[in-house]
Structure 1
Amino acid sequence: MKKLLYITDQDEYKDHSFIAPLFEIYLHKYISVDIVYFTEFKSDSERKSEHKFTVPTRYKDVLLDELNRNDVSIDTYDYILVRNDIDIMKHVLQEKDKYQYKTIFRQTVPKRRIKIRCCIADGEVTILDTMADKYKTFCETKIINMCDVFLPTSQNMHEKFFPKVTTKTIICPPGIDPNMLRPNIQHEGEEKRFFYAGTLDKVREFETVLDAFSKLSCDTWKLTISTRDPQYALEMVRQYKNLENNIEIHNAKNRDELLDLIAKADIGVALLPDYPVYNTAIPVKIFDYYSSAIPCIMTYSGHNNKVFTDSHDAWFCKFEQNDIKEKLEYILSLSKDSIADVGIKGQKRLLDIRNYEKIAADLAMKLEAL
């Protein structure tokens, strides 16, 4: 069996919900996968298990040497995959001829573009920032084109953020874990229960969603928000006096707690502004919702509508107050059984086309062909 070293950009204690099922479980059936996480809190590298290692961040510039010193033999790997960190990718490329492995760069989210979008929202972007971004993209593209494989989350992400990458590309989207499905816990109340999971900030413009909820003529609904910054959410909701009794705010401490909250909802909310940083891939929260067969109201985009069908296995609308309001009113007019049926269809759709088991098999086949 061939061996792959996956160098993440994540701290050992963070949620590894994407890395764990795809790379630790499903891809491991075809390729022996070892995973490197980083730590700010330890002074020495450590083998956490047979296939997991943690390395202090200060060793990033000499990562392969540090792994070799800790009995992780780099010359045994057929592939080295780097997640998001272009500096580590550059280091891995420099050592490629010495060890003869194939190199893979994994792009999951356009972090710098998201940061720029945040600065735009705060009115802090200058022409120099824009020029710097273009130069960095040029340099990153040059490095990625030296790799054997580029592994973006979607074709749209490739086209929007790295259009001049010409090396072999394998699309590796997020998916649903067929062994981590949870039952949809049907509540006895008559109200429809909506759920929003994720970050709230100026860029996501969640006020537009709250504006739509505030215009509804009925109040037979509840909205639960789970976010890492509950104070920000509370201050936002306080601007809508007519909504305070309909909204609950949580800060789920871990993924299991979040999924437990989602399982008690009726409809997931994944409405985001029509910016490339959000509409070039399906948000992970959507997979979390459908893991419990919770149907989702989401932004109409060229990416989402390739996977879902409006009013069949999801609901689409534009990210505009009136359009959101009209779609919410339509959902509120449906019976609970009709809503649950949309969720069941959506879950089946994702299990058919965005199933980690299938994604791993496809990825392994394409890597074997390199």
Structure 2
Amino acid sequence: MRAQQGHRRGFGAIRKLPSGRYQASYAGPDLVRHKAPVTYQTREDAEGWLYKQRGAVTGDDWTPPAVKRQSAVTFTDYVDPWLQMRDLTPRTRSLYTSLLRTHLTPTFGAMAITAITPLAVKKWYAGLDTGPTAKANAYGLLRTVLGDAVDEELIARNPVRIKGAGSKKRARELRVLTIDELDKIVTAIPARYECLVLLGAWCAMRFGELAALRRCDLDLKNGVVHIRQAITTIKGQTIVGDPKSSAGRRTVSIPPHIIPALKQHMKTHASFGREGLVFPTASGDGYLASSTVHRVFDRAKVTADRPDVRLHDLRHFGAIMAARGGATLGELQQRLGHSTAAAAMIYQSSISERPTEIAKALSALVEARAP
């Protein structure tokens, strides 16, 4: 049976459905017909809903229902499915979950995303009691989440726009290892870790990439290392997966002067077989733990009189040496496996000794002309 036609009214319309219930609707100021969110058991109930809507329209207090629904979406309502649908590495997912739990949800969780204003963001950022890296990460995550909300037209503009807030300020000034200092560390560290230090430094590799390296990834004949996977450790569990980003999958040329050491290492310390690990544990039965390498590295760095240097600083060494060697910004970005040029630019801009070297080289050209 067809639904009965609605009775003509001064505002809106009511029609009786085949179920016997009543549906109310009206044409709003936006010229769109809006239906009541529910049907009603009696005509009087439907008329009551229309009466309220008419009051909002005539009182200039009317908001389109779609906008009302968007206004009701809280930060938690939005970010929970957002996180579930993102294609993230296990480490990044763990980081985002921690940042949300610790820094974002306590402040914004119950807020409607339409109520998150630039002022609210500034107050939150000013009150963050954490280190510079965590602060920048939390800010960057909030900006990304609400940036997607803009794309989905839930909000008109991203309220997360504090100038310079997303940059990670160094808590210390990095003094890059010299080649002599690196050689001292290599000499002092146990033999099975020498090439891990050499590859980490001269090929600017991350520890997770080094620990996941297999025989099939190392092509010493052509002098290249193929970085295809990396390990991460989350809550004591070792996970093997893709490198940090898609740009992390790369092929890096190996400086020829370390190839003889790598060849010797493959004979004496690497696991057997094409899939054998280049840097296995001492027992040869699994992936190296970062704690093990940090322990031996921390002892070796004292020999070089560089107690301040960290294992990850080997990567900085490799980046800056490549820049000094003449690598362009694009070449540096590819060698490091960075997704954006901005990260690689950090190393080009931090070659503090390079201007002096260039100036001396210019003077040498002039002095060479002297009789």
TM tier, shorter chain?
Answer: under 0.3
**Larger helix percent:** 2
TM-score (ref. length: structure 2) = 0.27
The structure with more radius of gyration: 2
TM-score (ref. length: structure 1) = 0.27
**Larger strand percent:** 1
